[in-house]
Structure 1
Amino acid sequence: MAKKVPLRQCLGCREMMPKSELIRIVRSNDGQFAVDATGKLNGRGAYICKRSECLKKAVGSKALEKAFKVSIPAEVYEQLDKELRDIEE
């Protein structure tokens, strides 16, 4: 029997995609944000496509802030943008 593929929704384009194709953003218990490349860090996670347009949409609609229920510092968005550009190249 085929193994079930876990799906997650991108906060930018709102599409359901396999978890492995998305980037996980984590907020740890102490309030620190990180990009989780392994998908195994502890904390609350939110997912976004590996496209910079999706990050722009998520920032514009404040989707990340709604997902984590806190305001997110600009440095976190800058870090995400940099990492997305590295992936796209």
Structure 2
Amino acid sequence: MKKRKIPMRKDILTEEMQPKKSMVRIVKNKEGEISLDPTGKKPGRGAYVSLNPEAVKAAKAKKTIDRVFEAKIPESFYDELFEYVDHQKARQELFGND
């Protein structure tokens, strides 16, 4: 049986390649709004973040996502991202990989 290729994406916070399924997509639409994209299907420019709450905390301090998207990101978005990543990591530890 043929092995399936696992799509890999680069984490914008740690710059490591990881499987796409174990990451969350952040997207900037045409209006310049930044949002989380758990489905990975929203239109716009996307970037991937791994499920690492510590990396999100460091990104908030360094304003990493601001630089990647060349836009001013509100603090509330970083908080929302941290909560989502922390929740997804906990789910992954409880239920394993999908």
Q: Same fold (TM over 0.5)?
A: yes
Alignment match, 1:64? 65
Q: Any gaps of 5 or more consecutive residues in structure 2?
A: 91-98
Structure 1 pair 9–57 and aligned structure 2 pair: CA distance change class (3 A): farther
**Sequence identity (%):** 33
Aligned residues: 89
CA distance in structure 1 between the partners assigned to 2:50 and 2:17 by the alignment: 10
CA distance in structure 1 between the partners assigned to 2:21 and 2:83 by the alignment: 20
Q: Any gaps of 5 or more consecutive residues in structure 1?
A: none
Q: RCO (CA 8 Å, sep 6+): is it higher in 1 or 2? A: 1
TM-score (norm: length of structure 1): 0.84
TM-score (norm: length of structure 2): 0.77
Answer with 1 or 2: which has the greater Rg. 2
Matched, 1:81 2:82: yes
Q: How far did residue 29 of structure 1 move?
A: 1.1
- 20-29 or 56-65: bigger deviation: 56-65
Contact 1:10 1:47 in 2 (8 A): yes
Matched, 1:54 2:38: no
Secondary structure, aligned partner of 1:30: coil
